Chains A and B, each alone.
Chain A
Amino acid sequence: MSELRRVMCVEDDADIRMILEFSLTTVGGYDVCMCPGGRSALQQAPVFRPDLVLLDVMMPDLSGPETLAALRGMPCMRGVPVVFMTAKAMPDELEQLLQHGATGLIVKPFDPMTLPKDILPYWEHGRGRHVLA
């Protein structure tokens, strides 16, 4: 059984990128690719070939849903779980986000000490889904 190794993070806030990188590399031991925006993620995805993507929702260049739609159209991203990270906390807002086709949601702020474990279920149960027809 393969393991979760490569995690791509798409986040425009530098402080959140900083704590994400600490969490996923220092605590979790993953290989991480940090992208400051959606356009960067679209460029990096074919090169980095992530096993899982953590995707911010509110970003200035491409929004999270726009980035998700573009990633889903890339052959190299077939079956790769994409998890939204959002500071939105209202249930109706979260439900709306899931309707964009994300594998799941992680509500910010996250705990940097537990995030590496928290993302595992999304990979274990989400990989292989959302393949192109």
Chain B
Amino acid sequence: MTTALTPEQHLELYYFMQLNRRLEDRMVRLFRQNKIVGGLYSSLGQEATSIGTAYALEPRDWMAPMIRNIGSLLVKGCKPRDIFTQHMARYTSPTQGKDGTSHFGDLKVRHIVSPISMLGDLIPVMTGVAMAGRYLGQKIVAMTWIGDGGSSTGAFHEGLNLAATQRAPFVLVLENNQWAYSTPVSRQVPVKNLADRALAYGISSRIVDGNDVIAVYQTAKQAVEECRAGRGPVLIEAKTMRMKGHAQHDPADYVPKAMFEYWKARDPIARYEAYLNEHNLWDAEKKSEIDARIERELDEDQKFAEESPMPPPELAAQGVYCDGCHTIEAEWHRPKKELLPPASSVEAIWKVPDFGGFKGAAPSAKQPPAPKAPTKPAAPSDIAEAPPLRVPFGRGPKDRSFEQEQREKPPARPHRHKRRRR
């Protein structure tokens, strides 16, 4: 696997980052003109993370963005008009005005799952996408993003843990933009690096400079290929900074000025422009050519959105249920007969590799030996063995005879601590 980029790809990364920024600049102007219906959430300063990660995906791969991942949507093939019309609630938008912002998706062509506002929910969903892709033999990878804030949700834990137990081909990009609305990351999570959480799930992780698009891309590409090879899931922490408030209404007075200055000096687009200059990957003419293309495309799509109608009121009552409007068919890349008996049939027993005992305790002569575990023995400890609780098979503690037996039993002798000597 190579993570090297061609000169064209280098310029494409610039195109997407600048497109992302200029698109959002325009939306800020539209917001001030009251043309954006709801809130506007800026990804200023986070473009390299959105774009570098999504750029590592192939067309067959699936992703589910968060609200600030407009760049990821552009990379996966969405057009600025999709973003404009969504924010302006037009009938021509991907959701026909039923939802706003980046809350839209595309099951069939681009393989994008729509985000929802409740953070964390996409983690189990994309785990399911990854599991289904593997089940169907599609060799796809699923990717989603979560913020430092969203990483505190229960869905984050449940989803990542399920992904880990399933070894799902799933990449989770933890976009640490330092702020969950107004709360700094230090008040949300008491660990230095959010990527450290991967250890608790038994999965691999990476930490990357989220404002360096090349580093982000290379890290994501490695993670994606690791997952495709069956060694997933992978957690990537991208350290970046939300350079605006939570949304347009929020002046972000709670962010220390010096923090903005620190990150402004690390602006991902300015840094990437310097990188392209330094490596002679473009010249002034090429840059103005790309910039002009971006303005042309944005002019066209903004005009399209502004001229688009609002949805007709009667649409409000339509489309709650699928009444046959969609044909649901899985795309099989493996023979179905592998998943039907007799090929699918197994002996329904658990194979337990070791018995899970405390490795520091020496077994007494009477106890059956545990199978040899490949792990190294745990350090000696003062923790006593739990007294054995005998629950006869078929008789729970509710059973009267069991209760009786417990009452009649002589009191247990005080338990002696066992200490293993070295």
A interacts with B: no
Residues of A that sit less than 8 Å from B by CB: none
